Chains A and B, each alone.
Chain A
Amino acid sequence: AQSVTQPDIHITVSEGASLELRCNYSYGATPYLFWYVQSPGQGLQLLLKYFSGDTLVQGIKGFEAEFKRSQSSFNLRKPSVHWSDAAEYFCAVGAGDDYKLSFGAGTTVTVRA
């Protein structure tokens, strides 16, 4: 069974600074990997996804993520954060063809002025 771990519960970053959120997964084969964001009072929005091919994927809002098979990781990055990036971020993993999609516990990002 697949699982996903987000080691950081809460990250505080200054506006304009870079951001990196960690995600580690457990699955025997190549998983399907996703990052979602949930802004305060909002629903979940898909930032980006990885299925195969280029291991560096670009998403919306200036985010990117890199799949590293050797480290079982799919870390999310943004070069320069904006105050509007304050939100909770969830990594998710799917495996096989049965549609099962599991989410991590989330990382809350606070942006300070």
Chain B
Amino acid sequence: DGGITQSPKYLFRKEGQNVTLSCEQNLNHDAMYWYRQDPGQGLRLIYYSQIVNDFQKGDIAEGYSVSREKKESFPLTVTSAQKNPTAFYLCASTGKVYEKLFFGSGTQLSVL
């Protein structure tokens, strides 16, 4: 079945460490997104990508980085510069501009 796979489901980061969250889709979608979900703050856009080898900063990109080397993959790195990384991270994709987003099941990142 087609869908979006995020891994791992739970991730722990030590101080000063970079961690990478995986997002893979087999829906043949061009656009992919990363959102951060915090209680009371909704979903905040970190980065998004319209096509391979191209991506744009969202509303809260500081402390994060992404790459889009393959259509199917859009990994998110949470760098040590992100001082408050504890959150639930959601990856999403869509095939056409502003059509329905398909979401992954999320990764819960916590700081040790």
Contacts and interface: CB of A to CB of B under 8 A. Distances in A.
A, B co-complexed: yes
Interface in B31-67: 31, 33, 35, 40-45, 48, 50, 56, 58-59
Interface of A: 6, 9, 32, 34, 36, 43-44, 46, 49, 51, 90, 92, 94, 97-106
A32 B103 CA distance: 19
Contacts of B22: none
A105 B98 contact: no
Give the contact-size bracket for chain B: 20 to 34
Interface of B: 31, 33, 35, 40-45, 48, 50, 56, 58-59, 90, 94, 97-98, 100-101, 103, 105-106
B42 A99 contact: no
Contact of B42 (A46, A49, A100, A104): A104
Point out which of B33, B43, B44 has the most chain A C-beta atoms below 10 A from its C-beta: B43
Contacts of A102: 45, 58-59
Contacts of B97: 94, 97, 99
Contacts of B106: 43
A105 B41 contact: yes
A103 B98 contact: no
Given A99-B94, A100-B58, A44 B103 contact: yes
8 contacts: A46-B100, A46-B101, A49-B98, A97-B97, A99-B48, A99-B50, A105-B42, A106-B40
A43 B105 contact: yes
